[in-house]
């Protein structure tokens, strides 16, 4: 028996939502399947490390044929039903009902988006537009025939505004497009562009080209994240979200070590080039060679984007930590991506897209067993973050103090070296007098007769220390040590207050522990977003001395 494709929870899948007409002529099914298959193939080629997932309401017509085509290509489907199955079955003819049951049995997940018929189709449309990275609309382009229809779903995706007695979509529309497959209705006329695929983007950009570039960058970032996760062993213990946190942290740590090595190499190159510059008897080719090495190191690091990748993965891990805590606390419907990096579009959009998918895969329609503020994962999160911010704040403060002290000590050592060098010149002159019986020359005469020695040993220490102190300043500014220490200390106090409040509630003091966890998660997300933006504003760069 063929195994049905499953929904992936160990990596991000590219989610393709489907909406379309019910009244599709049987003769049109083959070209419509071909057009949909072309879209899936294009997405697979653009992200080879990323699986696809299709969301479909499994309604008669376009929804069903798209689901069948996805299964034929071993792409998992999630059934997004607008109402409970028993009620939904009333909307199918007998022949259509059999097809519906076959597809329902092959769905990786079945999610009922509304408990009642009145708002069911609008709720299903909102669900598909919210969770889809790409929406495929089998649509003739005409006005809709009711709330929750194909035209309404397309409008929701492009504007974020829902129609009918239901709240609007809970997020700004993603950069992901709507791919319209021009679909004639069975009883309507056939236009010349039938079965043509037209791509439209949400109205976030002035130009379609900008939206297209942003979407391609987001998909490429998701695919690279999946490729990096593939090199990390799957963690079996804990919840799925907890396992994802650990694997994402491992990938981030590897990339951070690479970024630190390249940053150290760039600083070392700058120091060596400065030394070559100040020591006069070195040929100029040495400086040129040092600069060339520095630029090669920089270009390698920039090409592989180690720094931004590890910072972005830290952001994903932080979002997953908070999402896991909220889910375990029973905060149903609280999506981290709706609270995280809300002002950041374009290059950071992929983080929210990934977090939204992980909520769909791990949390949507899957309530946590024994959910509540007393859940062990909630207590572990608060305690571990409380400990992390305490240690991180002290570490950053110690690092800044150490760099300041090294700079001061280096200046003292350089002055001592200069004094010792000058004394050596005087002693050298006295030896000259003793050997040849000549009158001991003055320091000024010695400086002239030993000019190279004077330049190299009296000026180089001071100059090199100035360079060293400057490089330490560049490193401290790059790491933002002082601001980080203050930020971590502030977050430690936030978690400490929350920890004490939760302990008081356990002892009988009135309070709402779930609300405390929710506000604590929001504070953590704001802090981490600030950290991420601050780091991105200080990119790795070549230092020319």
Both tokens assigned to 249: 């942290």
Residue with the two structure tokens 């720094």:
307
Q: How does pLDDT run across 195-252, given as a tens digit for each residue?
A: 999 999 887 665 666 788 889 999 999 999 999 999 998 877 778 999 999 999 999 9
Predicted local confidence at residue 327, as pLDDT: 94
Predicted local confidence at residue 43, as pLDDT: 96
* Mean per-residue pLDDT over the chain, rounded: 83
- pLDDT bucket at 362, cuts 50 / 70 / 90: very high
Predicted local confidence at residue 33, as pLDDT: 96
Does the pLDDT at position 436 exceed 60? no
Q: Where in the chain is the domain with CATH 3.40.50.450?
A: 14-229
Predicted local confidence at residue 132, as pLDDT: 94
CA distance 110 to 114: 12
Strands 197-200, 178-182: pairing is antiparallel
Query: Could you tell me what percentage of the chain is helix, strand and coil, using 3-state DSSP and rounding each to the nearest 5?
Result: 65, 5, 30
- pLDDT bucket at 121, cuts 50 / 70 / 90: very high
Contact indicator for 464, 272 with CB cutoff of 8 Å = no
For residues 106-115, give the mean pLDDT. 94
Question: At 360, which helix (H) or strand (E)?
Answer: helix 349-362
Q: Which alpha helices (DSSP H) does 437-459 contain, by range? A: 443-449, 451-454
For residues 84-101, give the mean pLDDT. 94
CA distance 108 to 81: 13
Contact indicator for 480, 534 with CB cutoff of 8 Å = yes
Contact indicator for 154, 180 with CB cutoff of 8 Å = yes
- How much is the pTM? 0.85
Main-chain dihedrals φ then ψ at residue 80, nearest 5 degrees? -105, 90
Q: How does pLDDT run across 277-316, given as a tens digit for each residue?
A: 666 555 667 667 766 776 777 777 778 888 889 999 999 9
- pLDDT bucket at 492, cuts 50 / 70 / 90: very high
Does the pLDDT at position 165 exceed 60? no
Task: Domain 14-229: give its CATH architecture.
Answer: 3-Layer(aba) Sandwich (3.40)
């Amino acid at each position: 028996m063929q195994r049905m494709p499953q929904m992936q929870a160990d990596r991000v899948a590219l989610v393709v939502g489907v909406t379309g007409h019910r009244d599709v002529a049987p003769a049109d099914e083959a070209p419509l399947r071909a057009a949909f298959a072309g879209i899936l193939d294009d997405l697979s080629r653009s992200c080879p490390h990323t699986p696809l997932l299709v969301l479909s309401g499994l309604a008669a017509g376009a929804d069903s044929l798209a689901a069948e085509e996805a299964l034929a290509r071993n792409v998992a489907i999630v059934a997004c039903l607008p109402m409970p199955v028993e009620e939904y079955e009333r909307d199918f003819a007998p022949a259509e009902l059999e097809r519906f049951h076959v597809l329902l049995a092959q769905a990786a997940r079945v999610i009922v988006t509304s408990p009642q018929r009145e708002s069911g189709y609008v709720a299903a449309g909102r669900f598909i537009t919210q969770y889809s990275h790409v929406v495929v609309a089998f649509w003739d382009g005409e006005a809709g025939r009711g709330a929750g229809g194909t035209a309404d779903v397309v409008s929701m995706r492009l504007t974020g505004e829902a129609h009918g007695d239901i709240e609007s979509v809970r997020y700004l529309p993603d950069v992901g497009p709507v791919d319209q497959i021009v679909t004639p209705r069975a009883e309507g006329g056939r236009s010349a562009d039938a079965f043509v695929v037209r791509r439209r983007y949400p109205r976030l950009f002035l130009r379609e080209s900008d939206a297209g570039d942003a979407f391609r960058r987001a998909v490429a970032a998701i695919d690279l994240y999946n490729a990096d996760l593939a090199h990390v062993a799957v963690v079996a213990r804990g919840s799925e979200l907890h396992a994802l946190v650990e694997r994402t942290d491992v990938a981030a740590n590897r990339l951070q070590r690479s970024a630190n090595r390249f940053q150290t190499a760039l600083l070392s190159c700058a120091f060596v080039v400065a030394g070559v510059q100040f020591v006069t008897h070195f040929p100029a080719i040495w400086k040129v060679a040092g600069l060339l090495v520095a630029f090669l190191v920089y270009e390698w690091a920039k090409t592989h984007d180690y720094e931004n990748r590890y910072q972005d993965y830290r952001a994903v891990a932080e979002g997953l930590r908070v999402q896991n805590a909220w889910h375990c606390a029973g905060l149903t419907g609280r999506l981290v991506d709706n609270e995280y990096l809300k002002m950041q579009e374009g290059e950071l959009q992929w983080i929210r897209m990934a977090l939204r998918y992980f909520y769909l895969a791990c949390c949507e329609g899957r309530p946590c067993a024994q959910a509540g503020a007393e859940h062990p994962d909630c207590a572990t999160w608060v305690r571990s973050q409380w400990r992390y911010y305490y240690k991180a704040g002290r570490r950053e403060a110690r690092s800044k103090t150490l760099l300041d002290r090294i700079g001061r000590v280096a200046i003292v050592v350089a002055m001592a070296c200069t004094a010792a060098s000058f004394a050596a010149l005087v002693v050298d002159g006295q030896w000259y007098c003793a050997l040849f019986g000549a009158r001991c020359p003055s320091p000024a005469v010695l400086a002239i007769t030993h000019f190279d020695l004077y330049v190299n040993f009296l000026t180089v220490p001071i100059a090199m220390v100035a360079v060293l102190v400057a490089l330490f300043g560049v490193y401290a500014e790059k790491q933002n040590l002082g601001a980080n220490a203050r930020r971590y200390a502030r977050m430690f106090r936030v978690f400490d207050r929350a920890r004490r409040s939760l302990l008081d509630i356990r002892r009988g003091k009135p309070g709402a522990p779930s609300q405390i966890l929710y506000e604590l998660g929001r504070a953590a997300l704001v802090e981490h977003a600030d950290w991420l933006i601050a780091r991105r504003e200080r990119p790795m760069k070549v230092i020319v001395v």
